Amino acid sequence: MRTSAKNLMIMAGLFMLCGLLNPITAPAGDTVYIADVLTIGLRQSPDPKSSIIKALHSDAALEILEERDKYLRVRTATGDEGWIPKQHVSAQTPKSQTITALKTELAALKAKVQPARDATTNATAEIQALQSQYDKVKAELDQLQSQAGTDQSAMGQQFAEMTTRYNTLREQATHVDELGQELESLRAANTKLANDLEIQKQASSHLKRTDMIPWFLAGAGVFLTGFTIARLSPGRKKKSFY
């Protein structure tokens, strides 16, 4: 604790020394801040004996209205105007305000980061789900490719067998065509033989009828001759009367 207080005192002394060695020269309209860790009075005139209008604390923001020797006429955030020594102000933003601004910015960044974190978490979960889905699809694809290779080999074997059977059937079909042509030839020959046989039968029947006519005539002649002789014989007639 003593070390911290000592460091603060050293820093305050350094700020005061810097203010004494390098008094601020800022144009009107700029903003300055009470630099030291102290309280000073806002006076009615640039005179250390003039009456104090208001007490100003460290880090208070002031608008410069006028500069005269070692004093500045300033306006506070509440609209009060008066004079203060140059050595007690600085153009640099106070650390407390810087820290506050940084805290505010940090909070805003956290507010922006949180949705990003949530989105990252969701994206990570989605990526994991997609990775799982990808692994599943890849495994199915590998299995299908393996099955496709097996099926392709089996199909190649079946195709070879079908090609062999086709060639065999083509050869058999060629023999069948030859047998068909030979059968047609045999049928034509058989038809011709049947026709020739029918012609022979008709000719044979005609010959039989032609050969029987002389025999029939001869028989009829013998019968008529006998009948005539019997009719003309006298003894035959007498015997017939008794």
Domain of 45, CATH number, reads: 2.30.30.40
Kindly tell me if the per-residue pLDDT of 72 is higher than 90: yes
62 vs 95, residue with greater confidence: 62
The answer to whether residue 225 sits within a structural domain is: no
- What digits encode the pLDDT tens for the residues 204-229? 776 666 666 666 666 777 777 776 77
Kindly tell me if the per-residue pLDDT of 195 is higher than 80: yes
Kindly tell me if the per-residue pLDDT of 21 is higher than 50: no
- What digits encode the pLDDT tens for the residues 165-194? 888 887 777 776 777 787 788 888 878 888
Q: What is the DSSP string of the chain?
A: -HHHHHHHHHHHHHHHHHHHHS-----TT-EEEE-SSSEEEEESSSSTTSPEEEEEETT-EEEEEEEETTEEEEEETTS-EEEEEGGGEESSPPHHHHHHHHHHHHHHHHHHHHHHHHHHHHHHHHHHHHHHHHHHHHHHHHHHHHHHHHHHHHHHHHHHHHHHHHHHHHHHHHHHHHHHHHHHHHHHHHHHHHHHHHHHHHHHHHHHHHHHHHHHHHHHHHHHHHHHHHHH-HHHHHHHH-
- What digits encode the pLDDT tens for the residues 134-164? 898 888 888 887 877 777 777 778 888 888 8
Q: What is the mean pLDDT of residues 27-46?
A: 77
pLDDT for 31 equals: 77
In this prediction, residue 27 has a pLDDT band, given cuts at 50, 70 and 90, of low
The answer to whether residue 126 sits within a structural domain is: no
The answer to whether residue 55 sits within a structural domain is: yes
The answer to whether residue 113 sits within a structural domain is: no
pLDDT for 199 equals: 85
Give the number of domains in the chain.
Answer: 1
- What digits encode the pLDDT tens for the residues 82-128? 999 998 888 887 777 778 878 888 888 888 887 877 888 888 888 88
Kindly tell me if the per-residue pLDDT of 65 is higher than 90: yes
The answer to whether residue 11 sits within a structural domain is: yes
The answer to whether residue 85 sits within a structural domain is: yes
The answer to whether residue 33 sits within a structural domain is: yes
| Residue ranges making up the domain that contains 27 | 2-91
